[in-house]
Structure 1
Amino acid sequence: MTADRSTPQRLLGIDGGKTKTLVELSVKGRTAARIRGPGLEMITAPGGPEAVHLALAASLAPLGNLGQLDTVCIGMNAVHAPSPEAEHVARILRGLVVADRIVVTSDMVTTYCGALGLVPGAVVAAGTGTIAMGLSSAGEVSRVDGWGYLLGDDGSGYAIGSHGLRSALRAVDGRGGSQVLASYAAKRFGNPTQMSRKIHGAQVPARVIADFSRAVAAAAIEGDSDAIAIWAAAGRDLARTVVSAAAVLQGPTPTAMSWAGGLFSVGALLQEPFQEEIHRLAPGAAPRPPAADAVGGALLLAGQPRPALTSVTLWDQGAS
């Protein structure tokens, strides 16, 4: 028997990231459990489906027997829906839970829904990489950046870390740069030759470089001019990205804007140039802090009485 979807009772939201999976069970609008599990491999990678199945099973195991659920919604990195990959994820979840509906989408969509809900606007997410999503009043969805560190990811943790390391090496070479950043780089990697070997030999060099953004933040807090300039440039880049995500939409340009991702945890160092550039580029914009995280966004989507954002979301409604 299908549940009354006008008043959803038991919802499961999943944020499937590269390094961790967050799961939240909501019963009658209240959080019943929140679990952290292992990260998810890309479903398209060799052995990806099996790895995703195992990781999701491990994340759900602490919840025990979930019984009948109204809707399960998952947002995953590198999953674009509707697509065969999204259908595969839905089948995996069908084998792990009993639910009237399974909703599969990208983690950017659930991030947007967590930050702004379903109102028109734009949200930029910045961590190792950068991506933004815009939503029009007509339901049109835009995507800006998210092209990876070789082609884009402006203002990302990778971009900040890369600029910081370049400044450090310029100082070592006597070509200007920052002696403060050179000192941080030496503490982290050793001498320049060791640095080069460790970074180029890393399994995921982009993550190693992005992690150096922490050192660039520390140097900026100490007052290093190069580090401050790097973070300011990142803030402006992220502002241009989120404003563009709104501007490329058809019809009236939405004014609601928000942000997400660990990079913003540095506070004013990034927020001040970010907000200033938004207001310079879009004087009518109304940036505001995210209302919830991506798990909250997944739960918001799961709670919709009818399918929403169908151009970027797979709704598997089973036999109902």
Structure 2
Amino acid sequence: DMTDSTDTVKKTEPGYIMGIDGGGTKTLLKIAGPGGKLLASCQGGPTNLYSSSRDTVRANLEQVIQDGLAQAQIHMKDLGCISLGMAGADRPQDHVILKELLAGIGMRCRILITNDAVTALYGALGKGEGIILVSGTGSICYGQKTDGSSHRAGGWGHIIGDEGSGYDIGRQILMEVMKSYDGRREPTVLSSLLQDERDLTSPESLLPFVYHSESGKSDIAALGVLLDPACEAGDPAALRIARNAARELFLCVESVLKALRFPGNRTELAMQGGVLVKGKQVKKELTDLLNRACPMVCIRKSLGDAAWGAIRMAAEKQSGSAGANPGTDTGS
């Protein structure tokens, strides 16, 4: 759900719009001036309410907002609107918490809050229609039509979802290496690649890395970089992992297409996240699947990031142009 606080603000054209992409590892902020001119772009610490404490989120938000205002050389009172796409901001109570935090920092302008998949869509395609597929540490697919209807697939976190994500791929690599070590699977190039990457003497010495409290999802996701070299070497285990990841991501896109029924299935799809931007094999397999099964879907290069998308969304809502009801239902 998107919430919009306009109680204290007259609906004037905002001179300055602040866009924030708040994630579990970092927060991106951009400020645009009249006519959409970019005035500030900066980065801060995590602002995800599910993975960080409320105090941490508040401190990080305050810091990145102050940095952005200083860079743009404007004051908080000059802002016409602050638009946030936040990981995990799907429930009304999350919106209440975020609005309280922003009010506590001194924010008095219009506040728009939505799920970060929505702002990623606006950033990637520059408008509120189409499909965005993200596969970074986690994965999610989100689609929206001009009438505001939307559907999401995936994005349910590393324990019950995030198929085809960096974390999923890293975990599968670790599993293949252990099975091979036991003799349950054929030898795999991934074993030597992993031993070099983590500087290990034997696969058993992986256990402290995997189960140590300091190791997080991103550490396991980082092992995904081993997939492409192993695939290039023709390693069956690596090729299997890549094929399965592509298939899972394809199913997410397919379910969004089925739910939204774009006329003639014609729409645009943008891909974001390290697995699809930096990686080769998964993207190649996925593109093949999409071209075969959904030829009317046009794969586009991303125009901008989700912080820019948050600004685009606010500007579109402000002008009341097509799709001016973005993210009414983020499918949660």
- The TM-score with structure 2 as length reference comes to 0.84
Structure that is richer in helix per residue: 2
Q: Is the contact made by 2:149 and 2:329 (CA closer than 8 Å) also made in structure 1?
A: no
1:39 is paired with a residue of what secondary structure? coil
Name the Cα RMSD after superposition: 2.4
Aligned to 2:95: 86
Q: Could you say which residue in structure 2 is the equivalent of 1:53?
A: 58
| Percentage of matched positions with identical amino acids | 28
Q: Does 1:143 align with 2:152?
A: yes
Shift of 1:50: 1.6
Instruction: Give, in angstroms, the shift of residue 98 of structure 1.
Output: 4.1
Report what 2:23 is aligned to: 17
1:205 shift after superposition: 4.5
Structure 1 residues 100 and 294: CA distance shift in structure 2, 3 A: same
Contact kept? 1:135, 1:246, Cα under 8 Å: no
Specify the code of the residue in structure 2 equivalent to 1:155: G
Deviations 1:218-266 (A, max 9, x none): 3334443432332233223212211211211257445221211122222
SS at match of 1:283: coil
Q: Are 2:256 and 1:245 equivalent residues in the alignment? A: yes
- Partner residue, 1:311: 328
Secondary structure of the structure 2 residue equivalent to 1:303: helix
Does residue 4 of the first structure (1) align with residue 9 of the second (2)?
no
Runs ≥4 in structure 1, deviation > 6 angstroms?
A: none
1:181 aligns with 2:185: no
Structure 2 alignment gaps of length 5 or more: 1-8
State the shift of 1:66 in Å.
Answer: 3.9
- Conserved 8 A contact 1:111-1:293: yes
Indicate the SS of the match to 2:157: coil
Task: Give per-residue Cα distances to partners, 1:64-94, cap 9 Å, x unaligned.
Answer: 344411111111111115x021122122223
In the alignment, the residues of structure 2 paired with residue 100 and residue 238 of structure 1 have an alpha-carbon distance, to the nearest angstrom, of: 38
Deviation larger for 136-145 or 177-186 = 177-186
| Worse-matched range after superposition: 95-104 or 138-147 | 95-104
Give the secondary-structure state (helix, strand or coil) at the position aligned to 2:148.
Answer: coil
SS in 2 for 1:175: coil
Q: How many equivalent residue pairs? A: 308
Tell me the secondary structure at the aligned position of residue 40 of structure 2: strand
Amino acid at match of 1:226: A
Aligned mates of 1:178, 1:100 — CA distance in 2: 60
Which secondary structure does the structure 2 equivalent of 1:165 belong to? helix
SS state at 1:212 partner: helix
The alpha-carbon distance between structure 1 residues 310 and 176, as it changes in their structure 2 partners (threshold 3 A), is: closer
